Amino acid sequence: PTPIPYPPQEYRSLLSTYHNNAAACLLPLGRLSECLENCSIALAYDPLYIKAYIRRAKVLEKMPQESSSPWDAAGSSSADSSTPPPSIGDFEGALADVKKAIELLSSKQQRTKPEQRTLQALNLDSKRLQKIVDERMEKMKAETMGKLKDLGNSLLSNFGLSLDNFSATQDPNTGGYSIGFNNK
């Protein structure tokens, strides 16, 4: 089969609308991956299509995502080879799409009342998604630090030490850290 050439400019807006409408039909049916694909195609044809960004954000928030923690693969024992359950939502991607929709709506000189309401709703969504992203990041940082501490303790245990034997104090003037040894 020969590749289909990119459509002429006059058809791109129509194709974008078609794919976004197809995504609108697929979303209530729960066919999220097809919906996501149609939204992405709509945005490829028209990168300024606000409705496609909003719809894709909704889909990304609902789609199951495989766990992306680097500790899942390396830290799982050979006895438990089950795959971790997927977490729901690509909140970072959804947040990026919501921010892009806000940017596009905010750049319009004249906004209709429905567009103003949409902008207000998007701002609320942005705050909600940012909170979720921040909470996930803090949880991931805590998990990572816990795993690193466990790794450090496993290495130091060969010498009869643990990370509890060391303390880090921050210099208020320079912001640097000094590490001290506490013989407990």
- Please name the helix (run of DSSP H) or strand (run of DSSP E) that holds residue 123, with its range, or none: helix 113-156
Residue 4 is predicted with a pLDDT of: 56
The answer to whether 135 and 151 are in contact (CB under 8 A) is: no
Closest CA to 59 of 85, 21, 93, 18: 93
What are the structure tokens assigned to 9, written together? Answer: 């400019």
Interval 85-130: pLDDT, tens: 445 678 999 999 999 999 999 998 888 999 999 999 999 999 999 9
Q: Which own/partner contact pairs does 64-72 have at CB distance under 8 Å and 24+ positions apart?
A: 64/88, 65/89, 65/90, 69/140, 69/143, 71/143, 71/144, 71/147
Q: What is the DSSP string of 55-98?
A: HHHHHHHHSEE----HHHHHHS-SS--PPPPPEE--HHHHHHHH
DSSP state letter for 108? -
- The values of phi and psi at residue 168, to 5°, are -115, 125
Interval 38-88: pLDDT, tens: 999 999 999 999 999 999 999 999 987 754 444 344 444 434 444 444 456
SS3 (DSSP) at 171: coil
Task: Provide the whole-model pTM.
Answer: 0.70
